[in-house]
């Protein structure tokens, strides 16, 4: 029985490695965050939506802000759902993307890649 349990735990470990999100070297994973503010931007003068999270991150992100490309509708929907539910979650973001602008507000290179 112990042999079967060992084999099963090994298979589960292998499966988790295969299906876990792949993160590029420049990507940053941050665990257990919540959205404190969701900035829904117009395309008139802005180049992305923004979220503000409850943890401090890199200074080029204005300490706690990350953008969501307008084309990333799934990420925006997930951000809205997490904000409304108040649920905590994990994110992957990068700090070396093109700057995006919130009209008359901020311009940052911190791009949201994934939420889980």
Which CATH number characterizes residue 54's domain? 2.40.50.110
Quote the domain boundaries for residue 89.
23-115
Q: How confident is the model over 23-68, as pLDDT tens digits?
A: 555 899 999 999 999 999 999 999 999 999 999 999 989 889 999 9
Judge whether 61 lies within some domain: yes
Confidence at 3, pLDDT banded by 50, 70, 90: low
Using alpha carbons, select from 51, 53, 92 the residue that is nearest to residue 68: 51
Q: Quick check: is 83 in a domain?
A: yes
pLDDT at residue 8 is higher than 50: no
Helix (H, G, I), strand (E, B) or coil at 95: coil
How many structural domains are present in the chain?
1
Determine if the pTM surpasses 0.85: no
In a domain, 31, yes or no: yes
Question: pLDDT, tens digit, for every residue of 52-109?
Answer: 999 999 998 988 999 999 999 999 999 999 999 999 999 999 999 999 988 877 889 9
Q: Could you tell me if residue 9 is inside a domain?
A: no
DSSP string spanning 46-89? -SEEEEEESS---GGGTTTEEEEETT-HHHHHHHHHHHHHT--E
């Amino acid at each position: 029985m112990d042999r079967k349990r060992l084999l099963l735990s090994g298979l589960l470990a292998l499966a988790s490695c295969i299906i876990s999100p792949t993160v590029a070297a420049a990507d940053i994973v941050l665990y257990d965050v919540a959205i404190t503010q969701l900035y829904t931007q117009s395309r008139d003068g802005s180049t992305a939506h923004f979220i503000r999270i409850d943890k401090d991150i890199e200074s080029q992100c204005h300490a706690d802000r990350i953008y969501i490309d307008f084309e990333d509708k799934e990420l925006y929907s997930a951000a809205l759902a997490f904000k409304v539910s108040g649920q905590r979650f994990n994110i992957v973001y990068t700090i070396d993307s093109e700057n995006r602008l919130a009209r008359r507000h901020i311009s940052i290179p911190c791009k949201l890649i994934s939420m889980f």
